[in-house]
Every structure is written in structure tokens, then in C-alpha cells.
Amino acid sequence: VKSQDFKTCSQSAFCRRGRALADRAELSTSWVSPYSVTPSSISISPQQASFTAAVKSSLYPDINFGLDVRVHKDGVVRVRMDEVGGLRKRYDEAASWALVAEPDISQDIKWTVSASDVRAVYGDRKEIEVVVSFEPLKVALYRDGIEQVVLNGRGLLHMEHFRAKAAVAEDAPPAADDAQVVMQTNPRAWFEGEEEDGYWEEKFNTWTDSKPKGPESLSVDITFPNHGHVYGIPQHATRLSLPTTRGADAHYSDPYRLYNADVFEYLADSPMSLYGSIPVMHAHSAQSTVAVFHAVASDTWIDVARPAPGATETHWVSESGILDLFIMPGPTPDAVFGQYARLTGTPALPAQWALAYHQCRWNYISSDDVRDVQRRFDEADMPVDVFWLDIEYAEEHKYFIWDKKTFPDPVDMTHDVEAIGRKMVVIVDPHLKRADNYPVYKEARDRGVLVKSSGGENDFEGWCWSGSSAWMDFFNPGSWEWWKTLFQTQPRGDGWTWTESTVDTYIWNDMNEPSIFNGPEISMPRDSIHYGGWEHRDLHNINGMLLPNLTSQGLMARTNPPKRPFVLTRSFYAGSQRFGAMWTGDNLGTWEHMAVGVRMVLVNNIGGFSFAGSDVGGFFGNPDPEMLVRWYGVGVFSPFFRAHAHIDTKRREPYLLDEPYKSIVRSMLRLRYSMLPVWYTAFREASVTGVPVLRPHYVAFPRDEAGFALDDQYFLGSSGLLVKPVTEKGVTETAVYLADDEVYYDYFTHHAYRGASAGGKYVTVPAGLEEIPLFVRGGSIVPTRERPRRSSPLMKYDPFTLRVALSTGGTARGELYLDDGETFAHEEGQLVWREFSARTDGSARVVRIGSRDLAARKPAEAVDGVALAQYDGANVYARTIADVRVERVVVLGLAARPTSVRAGGDELQWEYSSGTAADDKTQGTASVLVIKDPGVGVAADWEIVVEA
């Protein structure tokens, strides 16, 4: 990392001021917040869900602040505070970009105003109470009388109001006889400090940030008095349970920073900001889960301290913007996920092929190179769905414009890829080469939709791949419709469209932090001007989200009916999950990066953005075969699964590996493809409920303290699959944590491991290079498709295998969701959503395994945002797969050899190998019943009866 390119807190004036404020508060014995609510100003709205109030700071009695508190239908409390009637307006649009819709407000809130506070009690059991204290201003959320979240409990709230620059010459030498002036102490110094530290200008390296608006930072402390773990605030290369940044034993010396940045060769263990920011933080304890989301888009630093083992203090300091805080009351991880999803949206249900394997490199250098890579994958019989083109396809890095020397026939090339059911992804970045022969730049310039430099007069000019470049200002509504039309594959009026692309060409948006090679912190000067006159500093962290947002809309508009878009983004913000996938940027080919990549993807899942992955193989460097194989093991269990490599690396497509590595990777790729139904089903659930696709232990077992910090093993959706990817060199076995008193079957060997009857337990499992520690928790039914194909669309009519992993109680359950995988017909009910179950009849002599329609039972929960009025089990899609059968049912953990296995009265063919039963106390290979071709359709109702 080039750490000198990026600020530390002490190099950032407002962060310095924020930390100094916290220091003074800590040292003071009589600290009290200067902010208070004026009781007489309280105005409760007619529908009672919200109230507004005036807030004053004792430091500046002439300045007015306004407070707005409201409670949403699902109990989320939104607290907003802004300066009222100030010299200027603070940026207040962050939430409008992040929120999926204006939240519904509660219908049954009653605010009670007393002399010292205003409060409301709500919830099913009236268990939640929110209290806004007047003097000093404090907001606290209680559940069952226990404090959950406290704002300004430590008195660090500070909204620097707009002011005129004092006319004092800053560098006037103090006169020698001015002793009495020195004596005149600043009455606000106890709170604000003696000096105006970096109020009006700030230098960093060779850059000077003119600060025409002066100081406008926002500091707020958020305390979780009864939660020992906090998670979230992606993106940082760190652990899932956030280590401390303040206090005697602080793990990091700098706060966590949220300031989207292109960090070259980033550190594998650091609170430094990275490419994206989601300002949502979960706080967790065995009793409760709560969360806060701060809709602020400026540079933000967050300190985390643990004053006592079961409590967490955080301090958020932002450069600009209003206070717009959403408090999610929980009480469980799943409830918090739902509350956050109702605010910013759930992850979009991706096209199914997008969950398959993606092959990328900087760069496949020609049409023939792409064809050759495809040919070699097929020769090696390794499945792959998507080939990617990095920036070198574009002539002089003018995105969309093919370099005809190397890509003379882009549409033919793409059709050759599509002929095997595959797709192409091509990169389009937001910097436009300033060249008059580049229609995209020309049209953007002529429409006036480019970012302006400081002062707002001229188009901003900076340096990126394409040399001297301009940047799209997607905050400008004038850019929206125009940008979407670029992706049309047919000519369109006078405007330029990408006629040299196909409707199966999808897009990768990179460098959208934005990355600017000659800019401060490799990004845009903060005093650059966006639409509406906002400074770049106000909206920096949102900037990256708008490109994939509009690009995905552009892709949808290409066809009628629309296809699901696919857009990969490097930069992101709260709400980005609605538009596509992200990856963890330019990682290094090291074991540390492999390991932290797993954690970063988990954190992103916590942050609502499930469709995440890290570059398999590591972007930089040449991984040895062992490392590459392990990295595939990580990728196979990442929601987004893409291999990528830097231009200076050796080629490392998996078919280039020698044996045995090549066959190991082939098996891993095939494993991923066999599990696509599991992934797709998990994504359906995430798209409806917001509960993430990857679930760390604390999500699956919220009461098991021993699992709260676990971030190297996780569950895949609700499937019951538990995986621990190996991310260390030379490993032959590893310890896997089992949280509960249940049987866990090794997915491959059927070895049965058992958790402890009380509390968790580690078991040692084999983890040689060819082995991925993967387990099916007893009680799960896992649907897979085990016929290898070259690409996932070719599996459309392939039969299913069901793995029935009996629990110690003799039951199991699983789900399968299917639709056409690429259109929006599922929103009209063109889908199949099944529930599989197994139960053991009282005598334990009979196990019944069945399938029933779940969509018909829960039509309102099948599809995100759409309540299917009436669901038809025999819908058009379901009929297309009427012949798709279950070819095999594997039952693990039966107590005894069956005497008969029947479906619909017919005796079936089956094989049984005896072994440990689900409810045995012993470890060892489980009994396995393999039922051959039971003659049942995967989309049909059926029952298989196993009698012993």
C-alpha cells in the first residue's frame, strides 16, 4: 500500500477536530453536551408518528437547529437533525439515494411530552421505548427496559454551523504587548478547542482543498451499552467482529474510515477505507441485536471502543451532511436484516447464470484469444458461464469503442460465446477520454453532464486510464435517460448507441470511487462541483453507486420484455445491493488476502449486499498451484465467483494447471455448478427477506457467544450447508466449530460429526488440498444438479439429486426455487418454489419424504416486492420443467436398512450402506440410502415412504 497517498485521521482536519472533542470529553469530569431541545417547540404531527423540535447549542445561541424524529411501521426510529436558516444548506440528499422508497410510518405511536423528555412506547408487547431527552439532547432506545442504543449519551454530538470567514489575518504575529488578549480565553474552547483547525483550507501532499463553505462537520456518538460485538460498516479489510480503535488496548490506532478510494495493494488488516461504504453497523449480544444506519455520504471516520466487555461505544465523525440516523430495534439478526432491507432494499435476484463461474483477466487480448480461452475450457471439460473483457478491448480506453486491431468482430465473437449458453461482460468506467472523436464524451460534454472543477465553471479534468479525462456527473438528471440509451444495441436517432454489442453483453463498472490517478487520495478534489452546486465532498461515497444503478437500468431497457441486468461494481453505498454485484477490488495473491477476502464478503453480506466476491487467485501476483486451488475453494463458496488477474501476471486459467491440481479445480467448478439451485434458492430468500446469502455463525446461532467472533466458516442461506474454506498453506486438517447439539454430515464422505449437548464444540476434519470442509447440518434437504455441463443454461432440463440429511430428531427440510433465471416473468408468478420435508413416524420404522408447493402456500413471500395475487402451480414456467425429475434421493442417517422404499405404491430401486444413524451418539460414516430414479418430478407433489 502507498499509505502516504491516503489520509490518516490526524491528516484530516475534521477528523482531528472530532477526535480532539472526544479527548476533551474523556478528560473532563463535568462534560455535558451543549445541545438541547427547546420543549416549547415540540410539534407532533397529526398522524402522531413523528415530531419536530428546535435544538439549540449553548455555544451559539443565535444558531438554530431542527430535530425530526419518526417511527416507521416496523419500529425503526429515524432521527434527523439539520441547521435551520443557516448561511448555507447542508447536503441532505444521501437518504434519497440510499432508500428504496419513503418508509411507511407507524400508525400506532403516541408521543408523550413531559418537562424533561418526549417518549413513545410501541411494539407487539409494548416492549420498545424511545426517549428523547431535552437537556442535554439525548436519544435512547430501550427494549424491555434495557438500553439498546443511545445517541449523544457521551455528549459528542456536534454540528458545525455555517459561518462567515473571520476577517482576521491568520498569520498576523501576536503583538508583544497584547498580554490581555492572550488572557481572553475562548468561551467555547472547552468544546470546540482553541484553534480553528483547518476550517477554511486544507493541504494534503501537493493538493490544497479550498473550503469555500468552511467547517461543517458532524460528530455523533452512538453507544450500545449492552452489546459486546459490533459488525458491519463495510468496506474494510478486517475481522467480522470489529476490533477497537480507541482505548488503552485499541487494536487499531486510526478510526474505521468510510471514504471510497482506490487503494493500490491494500493492506490485509487495516481500518483504512476501501472502494465502497455502507454506513450500517449491527450491535449484537446473546440477548439482542440492534443496528444503526447513518445516511451520510461524506468522508466519515468511526471510532470503536469497548469500555467494558459487554458494551460498545462508537463515535462517528463526518465531513459534511445532515444527521440522518436510522435506529433498527431488532431484536434478532434476521429482524435487523429485514428492517435494513425495508430501508435500502433487498439484493436484486440475479440472473441465474450470474451465480455461475466467471473467467476474467486483464486482458483477453483479442477476439481470437477469447475464442481460444473458450475452446480450452471446453477441451478441459470445465464449466464456465462468462468471459470478461477488461479495459484493453477499448481503443485508447474509450469505453464502448472496440479496438478493431485486436477485436475486429466483437459481435461475432460474442455470438460465438453465446452459442454455448455463455455471456460476455465488458468494462465501462465513468471516466471519459477527452477526445472529440469519442462520441460518448462529446455527447456528455454537449449535454453538460460532466463534473465541474472547483468554482463550477469548467469541466473537471483529471488523469485516468484514458489519459486526460472527464467524469460523468450522474447526479445530473440530464445524464440519466441519455446514459441508459447508450446500451441500446440498435441505432437510435442522432445519438450514439452501442450497436457493436449484443443483448447478452453485460457490464463491469470499475474505477467509480471515482479513481483519479492525479487526484488527492487517488480520487476527485473535494471542492469539485456536481449538479445542484453540491461539492464532491458532500456526496463522495454515493458517487460510485449511481453508475451501476443507471447502467443496470440501461441493460434492462435493451429488450422488451426486459432481461435481468448484470452489473459488477467496485464502488458502492447503502442501496447498491439493488443493482448488481460487487467484488473486493484489487487484492493480492497472498494467503492473508485470501483469508480476509472471505471476511470482507461476509461483512458485505451483513451490510445487505450479498452478491459479493473477491478475485480468485488474487489480482496481483502469481499464486502457486496450491494457493490457486485453495482460492478456487474460496470462490466456489462466494456468492460472486470470478477469477481475475493483473496484466503483469502469468496466465492462470484453470485448464493450464498440471495434474492433480487441474482435476481438483475441475471438481470444484463442477461442485459449484451442482449447487447452483442452492445458491439461487438462497438468493430468492435474500431478495425477499434481506437475510443474507452467507450467514456467519452469530446469524445462525444468535445466542451462542462462542460463535460471535467466528468469521472463517459460515452457512449458505437456509440450506444447512456449513463451509470452512481453507485459507492457509500446507493444511491437511482443520478445526470446525459446531454450535449446537446436532449431527453434521461431511458432504462428500458422509462422515457424521456431532456437536455438544451444551455449548459449541470444535471437531477436527480432514482438509487436504482436494478437500473442502463442507457439511450438511442434520435436518436439511439439499437439492443439487449433478450432471456437469459446459455452462449453467445448459442444465435447464437436467434432473435433481436430493440429499436428505436427517436430524437427530429424524426430520429434515429444504427448499428449492426455480424460474427461467433471466427475465422478470417470476414477478408474474412464472416460478416453482417447493418445500421438501422428511419426517420419521413415531415408531421410527417409517420415514416419509415429500415435496409440496410453497409458492401456493406463501404467494406473498415468493417474489420480492410483488404479492402474487393468485399463484398458479401449473404456470407456464412450471410446465416447461414438468419433465424434470428427481433422479436420485440420498438419505443420510437412517437407523436401519429399509425393508421397502415406495413412491405412489411402486417399489423403487435402492442401495443401502449401513453406518451411524442420525440419533446415534457415535461419530463415523453415516448410513446412506440411495434411492434410484424414484420417478417423481421436481416440480410435482409426491411422497416417498421408506420403511424399515
Partner 1 sequence: SIEKTRGVAPSLLSKYQVTSDSASWTCLDGSKTIPWSSVNDDYCDCPDGSDEPGTSACPNSVFYCRNEGHIGSLIPSTRVGDGLCEPECCDGSDERPGVCPNICKEVGEAYREQEEKDRKIRQFGSKVRASYIAYAQKEKKRLEGQITNSKAEIAVREQEVARLKDLVDRTESLSAAALEHKKLSPLYTTLTEHAHALKSLQREHKKHLEREKALGDILDALRRGYNPNYQDMAVLEAVRGWEALAGLPHINDVAKDDGEAAPNAEEASDAVVEQETLEEGMWTAEQLENDLDRLLKSDYETLLIEHEKHIGASSASTTLLKDRFVSLLETFGIARGTASSESADTSRARKAFTDAEDALKNVQQERDKAQEELTRLFDPEWFGPEGEWKKLQNACLSKDTGEYTYEVCLFGEAKQKPNMGGSTQNLGKFSSWNNAPGVTPGTPEYYSRQSYTRGAKCWNGPQRSVNLIMSCGVDNVLLSVAEPEKCEYQFTVTSPALCLPLEETREGKKDEL
Q: Any idea which residues carry the catalytic annotation?
A: 510, 513, 586
Q: Find residue 846's DSSP bridge partners.
A: 947
Local structure of 669: helix, strand or coil: helix
Contacting range for partner 1; rule: CB under 8 A; set: 296-304, 502-510, 797-805, 857-865: 797-805
Whether residue 725 is preceded by a cis peptide bond, meaning omega within 30 degrees of 0, is no
List binders of partner 1 among 534-553 (CB under 8 A): none
Written as one letter, the residue type at 892 is: L
How far is the C-alpha of 903 from the C-alpha of 604, rounded, in Å?
44
User: Which one, of 814, 733, 810, 809, lies nearest residue 776 by Cα?
Assistant: 814
Site of grid cell 448410513: 927
Tell me the closest approach of the beta carbon of residue 626 to partner 1, in angstroms: 20
Nearer to partner 1, 155 or 783 (CB): 783
Of residues 850-889, those binding partner 1 (CB under 8 A): 887-888
* From 204, 517, 531, 534, residue interacting with partner 1 (rule: CB under 8 A): 517
Query: CA distances (Å), 254 to each of 165, 292, 304, 504, 780, in order?
Result: 30, 21, 10, 45, 44
d(CA 353, CA 872): 25
Q: Does 932 bind partner 1 (CB under 8 A)?
A: yes
Contact 276, 575 (CB under 8 A): no
Q: Which grid cell is 97?
A: 439515494
Strands 289-294 and 35-44: unpaired
Q: Which residues from 163-202 bind partner 1, rule CB under 8 A?
A: none
- Which C-beta is closer to partner 1: that of 135 or that of 933? 933
Please give the Cα distance from 359 to 382 (Å, whole number): 11
Binding string to partner 1 for residues 592 to 631, with x set by CB under 8 A, is what?
A: ----------------------------------------
**Closest CA relative to residue 711, chosen from 234, 211, 216:** 234
Q: What is the sign, positive or negative, of the torsion defined by CA atoms of 867, 872, 875, 879?
A: positive
Handedness of CA 856, 862, 863, 866 (dihedral sign): positive
Sign of CA dihedral 627, 632, 638, 643: positive
Q: Which one of residues 48, 366, 823, 880 is an interface residue with partner 1 (CB under 8 A)?
A: 366
From 102-110, 647-655, 705-713, 938-946, span contacting partner 1 (CB under 8 A): 647-655
735 binds partner 1 (CB under 8 A): no
**Element holding 604 (H helix, E strand):** helix 591-606
Span interacting with partner 1, options 161-169, 352-360, 457-465, 921-929, rule CB under 8 A: 457-465
C-alpha cell at 57: 447549542
Residues 236-275 that bind partner 1 (CB under 8 A): 262, 264
Shortest distance, CB of residue 782 to partner 1, whole angstroms?
18
Contacting residues for 375 by C-beta, under 8 A, at least 6 apart: none
Closest by alpha carbon to 262, among 463, 91, 421, 46? Answer: 463
Q: Is 748 in the site for partner 1 (CB under 8 A)?
A: no
Among 20, 250, 365, 411, binds partner 1 (CB under 8 A): 365
Q: Which stretch binds partner 1 (CB under 8 A): 58-66, 89-97, 226-234, 641-649?
A: 641-649
The residue (of 461 and 500) whose beta carbon lies closer to partner 1 is 461
How remote is the C-alpha of 535 from its chain's centroid?
Answer: 27
Least gap, CB of 944 to partner 1 (angstroms): 16
Looking at the Cβ atoms of 98 and 261, the one nearer to partner 1 is: 261
Quote the least distance from Cβ 681 to partner 1, whole Å.
Answer: 23
Q: CA-CA distance, 523 to 515, in Å (whole number)?
A: 5
Kindly state the smallest distance separating residue 86's Cβ from partner 1, in Å: 38
Of 406, 440, 425, 346, give the one whose Cα is nearest residue 100: 346
For the CB of residue 182, give the shortest distance to partner 1 in the complex, in Å. 42
What is the identity of the amino acid at 465? W
Positions 389 through 428 that interact with partner 1 (CB under 8 A):
405, 419-421
Q: Would you say 231 or 620 has its CB closer to partner 1?
A: 620
Closer CB to partner 1, residue 463 or residue 762?
463
369 near partner 1, judged by CB under 8 A: yes
- Among 798, 827, 861, 943, which residue sits at the site for partner 1 (rule: CB under 8 A)? 798
- Count of chain residues binding partner 1 (CB under 8 A): 42
**For partner 1, which residue of 132, 522, 574, 818 counts as binding (CB under 8 A)?**
522
Which residues would be at the binding site for partner 1 (CB under 8 A)?
2, 5, 262, 264, 365-366, 368-369, 381, 405, 419-421, 461, 463-465, 467-468, 517, 522, 647-651, 670, 786-790, 794-799, 887-888, 932-933
